[in-house]
């Protein structure tokens, strides 16, 4: 895969530079290294701050979800690498409006260690923090080890709902509870068709033969649950949805939100084929789609593939999901 | 490139099916074959209708630009093929609110022939039509043959501005004049890094060697102006912007809108690298970016590559560009 880049070592800093040049009305740097970015209007007095973070290479994740009704700040790591605790701490200070800060991020070891360190630093400043780790990837660990699961595209629902709760003035306890309830009600499963190439390393994150796909792949190329011959869009949709429905124990008459996510190189057209099958299968089971999202929400550079995410809704989650939100990458 | 599809012959119809399932509140079919789609609230009484159309495989183009403040209807062709005149005519009837209909589409032979036929059919129904062809691809023909140029991502500016004019109640003459003024003020130039594969044909639209790029490539893989070794993001941005600035004869103190478009497989991160360089170069020349757009706006399935589009603004175009717009793929 050929890349439109300059010096690979400058990749992330130049991407951040481009983002800040394009969106100065909505994003600003909260540290000298510019690896901590916050809403342009941060801090919002009296409002719970939400800080996320993670490696680069996943746009719109993570920094695409900083905005009104979403996260308030983000720490930006190198490609597929955790940001530092210092940058998480800088973002924390910059978004602290006096109501505390929620750390809401994908469940990866490096991110967890660094966010825990950042929480200790914030504590010394008397900024109360809470932590909710996103664990939506149903194929990354069995149900009995659900807290070990990775966070993938389901993060969008967690950001959306926690962000709406913070925006309406909920307390840190309440925002954290809603974020955790969203995570507990969200499952994702994905399929990879081609690997991605890290700008600095210049080599593929994994190998897949011609005509082969990998079910359960992670957004950094982590191994999935099985490999097999490439199937049709309908078959892939059926496989992914079956995992999710089984794990969520969804019943008839429930309402859900569905997100069909492209991993980078898969055309939007193909994502709509997946959505079509998921929608019709849910309908057959008496499950209604309250709100669909189809597009690229959490990518892995130029990986080909897709994931399906389902969120079980209740009245409160529905109201928060439907609330307005606005970032350079997400408007509703 | 592996595809998540079902029977290739059903590709477009299934994509349309998925779109209508996902967005029934915003889009509806205006013909039995569902190859004519219109705003769910069409026709809007007293408002000029805008019908576009083109081949499939370019999402969000073309049908992603049907919505409030954008186009009112679209005819949907097979992959990379013109829709039929009948479907254009069905869309025309469905969006006709009594103020006439503008045909606004990319300058390709098949589309032009069919839209001209549709205009004849509309004429028999006493629906007045006007035609504006989008010709923004600066590298597809020299300046003295500007009316022969192809339409590419610059279509977004034409849809946005004509749509805003229709929405505010402008006459068919005025909407057409503004669409033409937008086209005359818009230039694009693109680079391709990898070919795309048609679902039915199963083969690449063109061949590019490892480490090679093609400057001036079209969104159907039409040959560009030159091939050469892959350059850095900055070099590519400089090359594309130089073509545009020269052709538009942009001077200092002018204001522009910039669109950096991904052709399908190129990560958003790389598009921001291109934007960064374009922004800084314009700034150095005293040209201000009033509004940037960075993302996938007109793709070629899974082609890797990017294009840059610049629109020279005046007060009226600025006001119309800034007006709200809403489709499933474009919100502002």
Is B290 marked active-site?
Answer: no
Closest chain A C-alpha to B192 CA, distance in angstroms: 10
Let me know if residue B268 belongs to a domain: yes
Let me know if residue A332 belongs to a domain: no
B293 — pLDDT class (breaks 50, 70, 90): very high
**Percent of chain A having pLDDT more than 90?**
91
Please, what is the average pLDDT of chain B?
96
Contacts of A26 in chain B (CB under 8 A): none
Contacts of A190 in chain B (CB under 8 A): none
pLDDT at B270: 98
pLDDT at A233: 98
B204 — pLDDT class (breaks 50, 70, 90): confident
pLDDT at A203: 81
Closest chain A C-alpha to B168 CA, distance in angstroms: 23
**Across A98-110, average pLDDT:** 98
**Across A207-224, average pLDDT:** 90
Cβ(A281)–Cβ(A238) below 8 Å: yes
Cβ(A52)–Cβ(A313) below 8 Å: no
Helices (H), B125-267: 155-167, 172-184, 233-248
pLDDT in tens, A2-52: 999 999 999 999 999 999 999 999 999 999 999 999 999 999 999 999 999
pLDDT at B201: 82
* A40 shares its domain with A170: yes
Tell me the two tokens of residue B194: 């990898």
pLDDT at B206: 83
Contacts of B266 in chain A (CB under 8 A): 4, 302
Contacts of B331 in chain A (CB under 8 A): 331-332
Let me know if residue B213 belongs to a domain: yes
pLDDT at A77: 98
* A122 shares its domain with A157: yes
Q: Which of B259, B267, B327 to mutate to test the interface with A (most CBs of A within 10 A)?
A: B267
Let me know if residue B1 belongs to a domain: no
* A217 shares its domain with A282: yes
pLDDT at A113: 98
Contacts of A227 in chain B (CB under 8 A): none
B233–A302 C-beta distance less than 8 A: no
B4: closest chain A residue by CA? A233
For residue B5, give the nearest of A14, A15, A270 by CB distance.
A270
pLDDT of A210 higher than 90: no
A22–B294 C-beta distance less than 8 A: yes
A189 — pLDDT class (breaks 50, 70, 90): very high
CA B324 to centroid of chain Cα atoms? 18
Please, what is the average pLDDT of chain A?
96
A294 — pLDDT class (breaks 50, 70, 90): very high
Look at the alpha carbons of A36, A37, A39, A41 in this order and tell me if their dihedral is positive or negative: positive
The larger pLDDT score, comparing residue B331 to residue A204, is at: B331
Let me know if residue A264 belongs to a domain: yes
SS3 of B68-124: the string is ECCECEEEEEEECCCCCHHHHHHHHHHHCCCCCEEEEEECCHHHHHHHHHHHHHHHH
B280–A22 C-beta distance less than 8 A: no
pLDDT in tens, B217-255: 888 888 888 999 999 999 999 999 999 999 999 989 999
* A150 shares its domain with A270: no
A76 — pLDDT class (breaks 50, 70, 90): very high
A317 — pLDDT class (breaks 50, 70, 90): very high
Cβ(A195)–Cβ(A170) below 8 Å: no
pLDDT at B202: 81
A115 — pLDDT class (breaks 50, 70, 90): very high
Contacts of B233 in chain A (CB under 8 A): 4-6, 14
Q: Which of A16, A65, A197, A269 to mutate to test the interface with B (most CBs of B within 10 A)?
A: A269
Written as one string, the DSSP assignment of B4-42 is --S-GGGHHHHHHHHHHHH-TTTEEE-STTS-EEEETT-
Q: Which ipTM did the prediction report?
A: 0.97
What is the set of active-site residues of A? Answer: 58, 220
A274 — pLDDT class (breaks 50, 70, 90): very high
pLDDT in tens, B56-94: 999 999 999 999 999 999 999 999 999 999 999 999 999
Q: How far, in Å, CA of B215 to CA of A235, rounded?
A: 38
Let me know if residue A52 belongs to a domain: yes
B304–A276 C-beta distance less than 8 A: no
* A176 shares its domain with A195: no
B62: closest chain A residue by CA? A269
* B58 shares its domain with B118: yes
* A253 shares its domain with A144: no
Closest chain B C-alpha to A138 CA, distance in angstroms: 21
Let me know if residue B67 belongs to a domain: yes
Q: What's the domain count of chain B? A: 2
Q: Which of A267, A275, A302, A326 to mutate to test the interface with B (most CBs of B within 10 A)?
A: A267
Q: How far, in Å, CA of B154 to CA of B168, rounded?
A: 22
What is the b/e burial string over B237-250, where b = at least 16 CB atoms within 10 angstroms of the residue's CB? bebbbebbbebbeb
Instruction: Domain of residue B95: give its range.
Output: 10-183
* A230 shares its domain with A190: yes
Cβ(B51)–Cβ(B104) below 8 Å: yes
pLDDT of B31 higher than 90: yes
Closest chain A C-alpha to B169 CA, distance in angstroms: 26
For residue A2, give the nearest of B4, B22, B304 by CB distance.
B304
* B218 shares its domain with B170: no
B56–A2 C-beta distance less than 8 A: no
pLDDT of B294 higher than 90: yes
pLDDT at B203: 81
A201 — pLDDT class (breaks 50, 70, 90): confident
Contacts of B273 in chain A (CB under 8 A): 4-6, 11, 14-15, 18
pLDDT at B231: 97
pLDDT of A1 higher than 80: no
A2–B276 C-beta distance less than 8 A: no
* A254 shares its domain with A173: no
A301: closest chain B residue by CA? B267
Using CA atoms of A228, A232, A236, A238 in order, give the dihedral in degrees to the nearest 10.
Answer: -130
Let me know if residue B318 belongs to a domain: no
How is residue A204 annotated by DSSP? B
**Across B171-181, average pLDDT:** 98
**Across A172-188, average pLDDT:** 98
pLDDT of A292 higher than 90: yes
């Amino acid at each position: 895969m050929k890349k439109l880049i300059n010096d690979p070592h400058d990749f992330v800093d130049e991407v951040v530079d481009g983002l800040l040049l394009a969106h100065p009305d909505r994003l600003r740097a909260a540290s000298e290294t510019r690896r901590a970015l916050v809403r342009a209007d941060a801090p919002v007095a009296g409002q719970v701050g939400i800080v996320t973070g993670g490696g680069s290479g996943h746009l719109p994740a993570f920094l695409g979800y900083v905005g009104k009704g979403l996260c308030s700040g983000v720490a930006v790591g190198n490609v597929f690498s955790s940001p530092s605790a210092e940058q998480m701490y800088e973002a924390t200070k910059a978004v602290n409006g006096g109501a505390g800060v929620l750390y809401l991020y994908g469940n990866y070891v490096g991110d967890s260690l660094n966010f825990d360190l950042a929480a200790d630093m914030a504590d010394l400043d008397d900024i109360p923090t809470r932590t909710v780790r996103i664990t939506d990837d149903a194929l990354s660990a069995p149900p009995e080890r659900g807290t070990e699961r990775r966070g993938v595209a389901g993060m969008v629902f967690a950001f959306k709902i926690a962000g709406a709760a913070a925006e309406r003035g909920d307390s840190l306890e309440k925002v954290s509870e809603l974020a955790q309830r969203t995570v507990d009600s969200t499952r994702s499963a994905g399929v990879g068709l081609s690997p991605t190439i890290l700008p600095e390393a210049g080599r593929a994150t994994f190998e897949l033969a011609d005509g082969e796909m990998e079910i359960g792949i992670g957004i950094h190329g982590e191994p999935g649950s099985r490999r097999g011959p490439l199937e049709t869009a309908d078959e892939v949709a059926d496989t992914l949805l079956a995992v999710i429905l089984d794990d969520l124990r969804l019943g008839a008459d429930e309402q859900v939100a569905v997100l069909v996510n492209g991993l980078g190189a898969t055309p939007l057209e193909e994502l709509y084929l997946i959505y079509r099958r998921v929608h019709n299968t849910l309908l057959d089971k008496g499950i209604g789609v309250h709100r669909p999202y189809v597009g690229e929400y959490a990518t892995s550079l130029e990986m080909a593939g897709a994931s399906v995410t389902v969120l079980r809704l209740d009245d409160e989650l529905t109201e928060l999901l439907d609330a307005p939100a606005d970032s350079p990458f997400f408007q509703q």
